Amino acid sequence: MKRVISVRDLEEMQHNGQDVRTLPDDVILTPSARDFLRDFETNGKSHVNGAKANAISDGKSTAPAKPLNSKSSKAELEAFFNSPYCHSIKEQICEMGRRLWQRAYVDGNGGNMAVRVGEDIAICTPTLVSKGFMKPEDMCLVDFEGNQLCGAKKRTSEILMHLQIMKRQPKAVATCHCHPPYSTGFAVAGIEPPTCMVPEYEVFASVAIAPYRTPGTPEMGQLVADLVDKHNVILMANHGVVAWSHNNIEDAYFKMEILEAYCRTILVASQLGKPVGTMTPAQLQDLLKIKQSLGIPDPRHGLKECELCDNAEWRPGVTCQVPAKESPAIGFDSEAEAAVQAITDQIMSRLK
């Protein structure tokens, strides 16, 4: 089996003093690993991972050496919440809020985000504020039970779901929830987007649907949390989408862009009157190897090739081909038929 090399592997090689150009020929490089090597060849220096650079920012905002928790003193928590590190996280959340709003993934005061900043504490968005117009000082600090620890504005009413994801999935650093129309359309219809059609979607998203419960209730959070072991994007029936990332809030937001673009694309494909093409199980297997090397979960990891893409999912184009029923509508009985005939006769006689 061919080995998949990611940026992380290359960085580790450099860290251990190995030459990254000495890779064997038969390895599969992830797209960012290929960029890394290209940068290395041209500049003789390593390519900086954009997402990581964004999370760590400018050096003065690195995470504290000793992470705080909900039991830390009020003064410690306040100082931490007002530190350059937390400020840079608050700015990132505001930036993602602007992107969510500009792309119409949120409506009214809808949508919310959270970033884990300690053992059992997280910074989250406030309630009753449009996500497109938030300021760093609007953010809140909460413990993992949803109690507010710092911040002037009240925390989002949907925080429990974010915290339940973080509690259940230790890798979840950041969570993003919004209502993008195409993806939410699938959630309303109760249809999981079909797979094996677009590489980006296969590599970065693992989607499942959680049943409907009132937003903000512990029951809703529980149903979502039950799925985050193997999935990083959850469609919430009749509501919206929530995604988690093991990197940072921008990466959680990227899952939304990828899902929404995918749902739009397959909806367009379904209108073109032809069954869509799909990738082969072997092609999908290659993508899943990349996915696994990036540390992204997927229930299909470890499946045999023959088990991939071999499922009874809804396929775009298929719904257009259902033949129209020939028989009259069910329940159309002779009595109703007689009544219609009588009315028709009356109208016709008036017209004469």
Residue of 158, 202, 250, 260 marked active site: 158
Closest CA to 149 of 81, 84, 88: 81
Radius of gyration of the chain (CA): 25
How far is the C-alpha of 339 from the C-alpha of 324, rounded, in Å? 26
How far is the C-alpha of 208 from the C-alpha of 234, rounded, in Å? 5
- At residue 262, φ and ψ (nearest 5 deg) are -65, -45
Instruction: Name residues whose C-beta falls within 8 Å of residue 312's C-beta, 6 or more positions apart in sequence.
Output: none
Kindly state the smallest distance separating residue 89's Cβ from Zn ion, in Å.
22
Closer residue to Zn ion (CB): 118 or 126: 126
Confirm whether 137 is a catalytic residue. Answer: no
Kindly state the smallest distance separating residue 204's Cβ from Zn ion, in Å.
22
Sites of contact with Zn ion (CB under 5 A): 240
Closer residue to Zn ion (CB): 194 or 240: 240
What single-letter DSSP state applies at residue 19?
-
Closest CA to 92 of 110, 115, 73: 115
Closer residue to Zn ion (CB): 126 or 240: 240
Round to the nearest angstrom and report the end-to-end CA distance of the chain.
84
Residues linked to residue 5 through DSSP beta bridges, in sequence order = 29
Kindly state the smallest distance separating residue 182's Cβ from Zn ion, in Å.
16
Continuous H helices in 82-206: 84-102, 159-168, 181-189, 199-204
SS3 147: coil
Kindly state the smallest distance separating residue 64's Cβ from Zn ion, in Å.
32
Kindly state the smallest distance separating residue 241's Cβ from Zn ion, in Å.
9
Closer residue to Zn ion (CB): 235 or 258: 235
Neighbouring C-alpha atoms within 13 Å toward the C-beta of 223: 18
Closer residue to Zn ion (CB): 64 or 216: 216
How far is the C-alpha of 254 from the C-alpha of 51, rounded, in Å? 11
Kindly state the smallest distance separating residue 148's Cβ from Zn ion, in Å.
19
> Token pair 């290929």 is at which residue?
34
How far is the C-alpha of 127 from the C-alpha of 224, rounded, in Å? 20
Which residue's C-beta sits nearest to Zn ion?
A: 240
Kindly state the smallest distance separating residue 258's Cβ from Zn ion, in Å.
19
What single-letter DSSP state applies at residue 128?
S
Record the tokens describing residue 118, joined without a space: 């300690």
Residues linked to residue 298 through DSSP beta bridges, in sequence order = none
Closer residue to Zn ion (CB): 180 or 240: 240
Closer residue to Zn ion (CB): 221 or 240: 240
Q: Cβ distance 131 to 97 under 8 Å? A: yes
Residue 323: Cβ-neighbour burial (10 angstroms; 0-12, 13-18, 19+) = exposed
Catalytic positions are 158
